[in-house]
Amino acid sequence: MTVHLIRQRSRVGMVCLGLVAIWWIGSTLAFAQGRLTDVLVSVVKDKVIAVTGVGQSEIDLSVDETVRSTKAQGLTALAITSTRLLGFSSQLRRWNEQMLAGDE
């Protein structure tokens, strides 16, 4: 009976150790993924640049186009220019644009 009890405790200990290891690896990967997808947006000369943990993506501004506002939150970034609405997605890693009418 003593040998059986020792084996059972050993199995329980190994299962607990395995579960802790899986939890630790999973939480580390989840934390890293969250950190990699947050966006920072910046205007540099004639470009709007979105920076994520995996790199940067930029979009050129047209001649005489000026940036009126920028905002980044979580996975997305937004830039409003004199002629376009620019949106960036860190999941897609690309910019999308929508032309603005003259009165917008």
Structure confidence at residue 20 as a pLDDT band (50, 70, 90): very low
Give the Cα separation of 97 and 14 in Å (integer). Answer: 54
Mean of pLDDT values over 13-42 = 58
Is this model's pTM higher than 0.75 or not? no
Q: What is the pLDDT of residues 45-69, one digit of tens each?
A: 899 999 998 889 999 999 999 999 9
Residue 79 β-bridge partners: 70, 86
Q: What is the pLDDT of residues 81-93, one digit of tens each?
A: 999 999 999 888 8
